[in-house]
């Protein structure tokens, strides 16, 4: 099964979107996923709420949504505050788990028309397509701002349709 981020979260050329047996993209140097970012020490056990100065997310929600010319996608939205105002240009690490399968993505956070997770005016959004909407899916994400501050690990579960 092929898992892609929508154009709002594209991370690779079309030929580079295949997952290895581990569920991770087999691309050297792509960096951490949300799960191993937290485990690798980017956020420490003594600071479970993320780094000082990191973006803070609230009202995290997920839903299956119909996108014109694309089909059903899993859309994740949140509101955020960012005291350093340096979320733009950061990196979003996304893990999706559904049934016994997993998919992992890392992508740029942007506020314009470029590919990546979108952060505009206090709203944060990304969408995943070509997932099985009949399966309950858990999406976990974490954002590193352009200053290197890592947010708290956020998670949302979306029931299958």
Q: What is the CATH number of the domain that holds 63?
A: 2.60.40.10
Distance CA 127, CA 8 (A): 7
pLDDT at 40 over 60: no
Range of the domain at 149: 4-158
pLDDT tens, 60-74?
999 999 999 889 999
Give, in order, the Cα–Cα distances in Å from 101 to each of 35, 75, 105, 122, 161.
15, 18, 14, 32, 18
CB 161 within 8 A of CB 133: yes
Work out whether strand 117-120 and strand 101-110 pair parallel, antiparallel, or are unpaired: parallel
- For the chain, percent of residues with pLDDT exceeding 70: 68
Could you list the beta-strand ranges (E) of the chain: 4-5, 56-67, 71-81, 91-98, 101-110, 117-120, 123-129, 137-144, 154-158
Mean pLDDT for the chain?
75
With a cut of 90, say whether residue 151 has pLDDT above it. Answer: yes
CA distances from 61 to 57, 116, 138, 139 (A): 11, 18, 11, 10
Number of domains in the chain: 1
Contact of 152 with 143, CB cutoff 8 Å: no
The answer to whether residues 145 and 86 touch, using CB atoms and an 8 Å cutoff, is yes
Instruction: Quickly state the pLDDT bin for 150 (edges 50, 70, 90).
Output: very high
Residue 159: per-residue pLDDT: 97
Q: What is the per-residue pLDDT across 81-127, written as a single tens digit (0 to 9) for each?
A: 998 899 999 999 999 998 888 888 888 998 876 567 999 889 999 99
Q: Give the pLDDT score at 62.
A: 97
Task: State residue 127 phi and psi, 5-degree precision.
Answer: -140, 145
| pTM, two decimal places | 0.73
Q: Which residue has the higher pLDDT, 56 or 41?
A: 56
21 or 87, which is more confident?
A: 87
Q: In terms of pLDDT, which residue wins out, 19 or 77?
A: 77
């Amino acid at each position: 099964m092929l898992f892609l981020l929508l154009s709002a979260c594209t991370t690779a050329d079309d030929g580079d979107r295949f997952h290895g047996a581990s569920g991770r993209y087999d691309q050297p140097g792509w960096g951490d996923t949300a799960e191993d970012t937290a485990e690798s020490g980017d956020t420490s056990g003594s600071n479970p709420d993320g780094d000082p100065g990191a973006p803070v997310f609230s009202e995290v929600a997920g839903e299956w949504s119909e996108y014109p010319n694309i089909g059903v996608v899993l859309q994740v939205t949140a509101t955020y505050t960012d005291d350093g105002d340096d979320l733009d240009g950061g990196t979003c690490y996304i893990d999706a788990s559904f049934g016994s399968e997993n998919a992992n993505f890392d992508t740029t956070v942007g506020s314009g028309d470029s590919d990546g997770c979108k952060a505009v005016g206090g709203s944060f959004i990304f969408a995943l397509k070509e997932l099985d909407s009949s399966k309950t899916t858990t999406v976990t994400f974490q954002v590193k701002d352009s200053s290197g501050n890592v947010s708290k690990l956020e998670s949302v579960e979306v029931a299958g349709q």
